[in-house]
Amino acid sequence: MPSLKDLKNRIESVKSTRKITKAMQMVAAAKLRRAQDAAESSRPYTERFNAVMAGLSASVGDGDDAPRLLSGTGSDQVQLLVVMTAERGLCGGFNSNIAKLAKAHADKLVAEGKTVKIITVGKKGRDVLRRGYGDMLIDHVDLTEVKRVGYDDAKAIADDLLARFDDEQFDVATIFYSQFQNVVTQIPTAQQVIPASYEVEEDEADADGMVYDYEPDEQAILADLLPRGVATQIFSALLENAASEQGARMSAMDNATRNAGEMIDKLTIQYNRTRQAVITNELIEIISGAEAL
């Protein structure tokens, strides 16, 4: 049975932990507002960009004159997975859920006889995947020193992917990230970025039956916009990840704070009962000694 001193030290330790988790929750809440605003502000541009690209892609088709970023290499044997996670932990299942989706996708591809290569963005994803998929890891992007994700960070990742694609190091590239819904809901998502895959939304397709003339022609426009589209999709994924990370951390720290409070209450009750038992034993010893006299 723990002594009164042990219980008291344990209570003080849990109280200190609760102060830390509460502070982390408040910091995450402050960062979440900025990250959520950034993610939500980027969605209209990304959606409209994808709609324009879908129209251009549909007009060009998959012919011989289509850009290579749109038509692909003609094979899907070598698959590149870009797994985006956080640089830090203490954010619930945020990192593990993304890594779990990536591992399931990698296992499926391997079972189909495909060659899988993995690039990690974020230290936590690399740590998780290194244990069972270390032979597939080919590179890592470190964003530890980046305080706020910017377009330049996404463009650097996109330029690296495009260079690898031009060198024929892979056939298909897929990014993995977490789409932000709200504080308690973040959806792990897989999105193919190379070759580009754009789908026309129903409301966009049915909005009007207009036919557009492009100047210059569609091929020239796509040749300029497709590389930018890869960077745009990666940037959007990084913003969604940033908001999801802070939302998951805020939720996790809130749960930790509540659990610490419940533990303090239980330990306090145990401390009071132990203290009462000690006092009762002392009274019994005094009374027994007095009666013995």
Catalytic residue IDs: 91
39 touches 240 (CB < 8 A): yes
- Nearest Cα to 164, choosing from 83, 228, 73? 73
Cα–Cα–Cα angle for 106, 109, 114, rounded to 5 degrees? 120
Helix residue ranges per DSSP H, 123-187: 123-133, 151-166
Residues forming beta bridges with residue 186, ordered by sequence position: 180
Q: Please give the distance of CA 17 from its chain centroid, rounded to a whole number.
A: 25
CA distances from 147 to 31, 79, 161, 216, 259 (A): 11, 31, 23, 40, 30
What is the spatial distance between Cα 59 and Cα 51, in angstroms, rounded to a whole number? Answer: 13
* E strand segments, 68-150: 78-84, 115-121, 137-141
Q: How many residues does the chain have?
A: 293
Quick one: tokens of 6? 């042990």
What is the spatial distance between Cα 116 and Cα 129, in angstroms, rounded to a whole number? Answer: 13
What is the spatial distance between Cα 32 and Cα 235, in angstroms, rounded to a whole number? Answer: 17
3-state secondary structure of 126: helix
